[in-house]
Amino acid sequence: MKPDDPLLRIIACPIDKGQLTLLLPEEVLYNPRLHRRYPIIDGIPQLLPSSGTRVPDEEHERILRRIGP
C-alpha cells in the first residue's frame, strides 16, 4: 500500500469508524485515537477488530511525533 492509494480515503477503523494513518516502512494502519495498529499483509489491510493490536503509550508517543499534528 502506498500513501497515495485511493483506498486510504475510504477505509476506516473497524472499532471507532475513524480515519486510519498509513505508517511506512512498517506497512501498518494506525488509529491514534485508540492506540491500535492493523497489519497490511500482501497489500491487504487486515481490518477485523481482532487483527488490531494495542500500542504501548511510549510507542504511541513516538508515532505521534512521526506523523505530526
Q: Residue 28: which CATH number? A: 2.20.25.10
Considering the domain boundaries, does residue 40 fall inside one? yes
The full length of the chain comes to 69
Q: Is the dihedral of CA 6, 8, 9, 13 positive or negative?
A: positive
Task: Tell whether 62 is covered by a domain.
Answer: yes
- The answer to the question of residue 14 being in a domain is yes
Task: Give me the domain span that covers residue 57.
Answer: 6-67
What is the total count of domains within the chain? 1
Cis peptide before 25 (omega within 30 of 0): yes
Tell me what pLDDT residue 1 has: 81
Q: Residue 68 has what pLDDT?
A: 81
pTM to 2 decimals? 0.90
69 pLDDT higher than 90: no
Q: Tell me if 1 is assigned to some domain.
A: no
Q: What is the CA radius of gyration of the chain?
A: 11
Judged on CB neighbours under 10 Å (0-12, 13-18, 19+), 27 is middle
